[in-house]
Amino acid sequence: MKRIHKIKTDKVIKETLSDEALECLRDSCDNLRDLAIIDLLASTGMRVGELVNINIEDIDFENRECVVFGKGNKERPVYFDARTKIHLKNYLKSRTDDNPALFVSLDKPFNRLQISGVEIRLRNLGRRLGIHRVHPHKFRRTVATRAIDKGMPIEQVQSLLGHSQIDTTMHYAMVNQNNVKESHRKFVA
């Protein structure tokens, strides 16, 4: 076994969502729930499993944060922006049910939204707009990449995403080549 070498595979830089793609997704939402979901995913970078398990009481609008339960039932805070706060509040005001879940189905009996429901909605929205492969994880990768591109220390990105190993965070953070070029000019040239 020691003589068997690992197979080298190409490292594919996975896509992130552009600012334009995110705005198109927001603009094409035909209901407040989907808009709130897109904003929450785009500003927090949370996993889709964490998103569907959030209850209304978990949201702290004052501090624009909420507590999610990540992998291994680890609890961590995630933070959202002012736009997300407004869209979440508008969505909650529009609801007529008494389900404690933050996101519920659009039709009666208003059950908690499932992971597959979020994935299907995003995929269909992306197809309708001609945006390649829209799925919840792409939002997570986008948040990680943007944070690193803007200078957030990798350890803080690790905490933000709820990773126990920094190697996992490094896989998410696809370094923008323009920033590498700028850093080269700044530090080397």
- The catalytic position among 71, 74, 83, 132 is 71
> How far is 120 from 106, CA to CA, in rounded Å?
14
108 is catalytic: no
Q: How deeply is 122 buried, as exposed, middle or buried, from its count of CB atoms within 10 A (0-12, 13-18, 19+)?
A: buried
- The catalytic position among 47, 85, 87, 138 is 47
Say which residues have a Cβ less than 8 Å from residue 163's Cβ, sequence separation at least 6: 169
- The catalytic position among 33, 121, 146, 172 is 172
- The catalytic position among 26, 89, 123, 137 is 137
137 is catalytic: yes
- The catalytic position among 14, 128, 140, 150 is 140
172 is catalytic: yes
91 is catalytic: no
> How far is 189 from 179, CA to CA, in rounded Å?
14
- The catalytic position among 85, 121, 138, 163 is 163
Which residues are known to be catalytic? Answer: 47, 71, 137, 140, 163, 172
